[in-house]
Every structure is written in structure tokens, then in C-alpha cells.
Structure 1
Amino acid sequence: MGLVTRFVSRLRAPAAFAVAALGLAALALAALALAAPLTGPAAAQGSETAADTGTGVELRVGTLVIAEPWARATPPAAKVGGGYMRITNTGTEPDRLIGMSAPVAGRGEIHEMAVVDGVMRMRELENGIAIESGQTVELKPSGLHVMFMDIKEPLKEGTTIPVTLRFAKAGTIEVPFPVRSIGAGSHTKH
């Protein structure tokens, strides 16, 4: 019998309910941390260029423009975090986001959240995300996003994570992902 189980079994019903509710609240907070955008200075290399748009970071690699990257802060015990941005293909050929990595994570993945049989589910996109010519793809909470898997420490609001994005044609670029609050991106603008 685990420590928490022994503790809860000794509590009276109202107290046991309160402990269970706190546990559910912690799980909900962790789920919120996976759904959120960030701004900050950019580091560009090679043919990439960076510009501060006043509303966030905008970087260019090849014919792709990466705008307003950000990550959501995570609770202390979280093992994963989410990252978001907009990617616009200004060229005449399609490209594809095929990978990402960050020093803060054991590995990076590209994910999609979608409603399946009335239930919101997340799945890895092993072939990445297509960015057609002239198209803008938005990575946002509850949709397409990048995942920081097996994070080595919590993502803290006010810090910036260096993230390397890999594209099939445009190549790689290091993008700064500012970390916003745990609840960032939860509400849409009307």
C-alpha cells in the first residue's frame, strides 16, 4: 500500500474527498500546461534572418517565416511541455516541419490534438506538418503543436528556450521560445 493510499485511508470521507480533489486539480493544471504562444529576441544563423515585429519574434529560413514562437510554463513535476508558433511559406514549393529539439527536453515531437469520438486526443505526427506554398500553419493550444518530451526541469515563465526546428527543404533554424504563464493561450481573442 502506497504512502498516499495509507494516508487517504485514514482520513474521514470529507477529508479524503478533499485530498482526491487536490490531486485532480494538480492533474488539470498539468493538462493546462500543454495547451499555449511566446515572444522574445531571435538568434539567426546562416541564411536565416530575424526581426522583432513589436508583437513578437519573426524569423526567416529559406522561404519560411516563423512568427511569435512561445511555450507554456509547466508545473514542477511535469514531464512534458508544449510549444506554439505560426509558420508561413512565402515560396512556390511546399515544405514540411519534420523535427525539433531543445536542450531542455530529452526529445522533441510534433503533435496534433483532435476530437475523436467526442474525446480530445493527442497524437504524434511522424511525418511532420506540411506547409504548402502560400499557406500559413498555426501551431496553437488544442491543435498542432511541438512537444518537449522528458523535460529536464520545469519550463519557467519569463525564461526563453532555444529550440531547433528542422524543415525538409529550408533546413534548420534556432528559434527562441519565450515561456509564458501556465494558463497562457487558454482564451481566444474575439
Structure 2
Amino acid sequence: MRETSDQGRRPYHHGNLREALIEATLGLIEAKGPLGFTLAEAARQAGVSAAAPYRHFRGRDELIEGVALKGFEIFADQLEAAWNDGHPTLLTAFFAVGRAYLDFARRNPGYYIAMFESGVSIAGNPDLARAADRAMGVLREAAERLAAHLPPGKRPPSGMIANHVWALSHGVVELFTRGAPGARAPYSADEMLESGTAIYLRGLGLIS
């Protein structure tokens, strides 16, 4: 079965409808923000009828959750690839994960906004929660490995470290992308994140 738009655009096969809507929504999120468009507008952008999105999404919020879910899946894949890329030390692997975080945000603003700035409830959506936890799991594993040399009673919680580094990474993204207030800094986003992470890890005694 095929869906065609009332605008005469190229039709999409039903099996591709969900993907087409997500791709169309990415552009709308980047251009107008997560609250700046309607579900009907996303349908027009995808080249399908106004009723077509309801086959997969109950409304705009659920469509944005679909975008966020795909974003978290790609994000987790990229963090895992960065961590497992055969680095000479645990610290260089940890820094590579940070660079992958920034690279994802730079290359995928629509996904990033849907994931972190749209107000979607990650805890309220089991699929979103699993995908987000897989991404966070990379940082937890890295923290556990970095703390393994400390006595068990002196190891800081890996979840705390993961959340702190995640927050630091998000802050750097905001400084260097949203209006780019960090663009005038004498260092790059990658350098800022790496130095901040090193200071944090050194303060915890995880690196010397």
C-alpha cells in the first residue's frame, strides 16, 4: 500500500512511512525547534497525507519521541565504537568517548535537540530509557575501568562519574553551538571538554 500526499509529492511505500516522517521532522526541529511545527506540517514535509502519521504516532509529541529514540540508538552506537576503537590507554579511550559525544551533537542537531531539549520523558518511555541507558553505560564502564586501581571502599560511584561527565559534555555543547558563546574562546570545544574531564578525574584520584 502506498501513501501519497495531496501536494503531488513523491509517494512513500507504507513500510518507509515511519522513517520518512522522522527524517522530515529532523529538518523541522532544526529550523523551528521541537514546538514550532505541527504533525500535519511534518506530514507535508514528508510528502504524505495529513492522516498518514497517525498510523505510527498519536501526535507530535510521540513523533518527537520517535526521533529521540532513533537519535539515542545512533548516539549509543557511536559512543560504543569510540570506546572500543583500540586505544592505547583507558584515558585516551575515555577522551575519545567525549569527542564522540561532541561530534554527534555537531553532526546531528535535530536528533540532539529531540533527545535533550524537547522535553520528552525518557523515564516514561521504556524504549527511550533503554537506548539512553546503553549510551550512559559506556561512560559507566569507562568510569569503572578507570577506578579499578583504587581500593573498593575508595572507588567513587561509576554512575555519579558518568552523570557528571555527561553533564560536562552537554554544557560544552551548549557553549559551542547554541549561539556559540564559546566561539571566542582560545580553545576548541574538544579541548575544553578534555581538560575539564581531566581535572575532574584527577580530583577523584582516578588519574595522576
More strand by share: 1
Between 1 and 2, higher relative CO (CA 8 Å, sep ≥ 6) is seen in 1
Give the TM-score of the pair, scaled to structure 1.
0.36
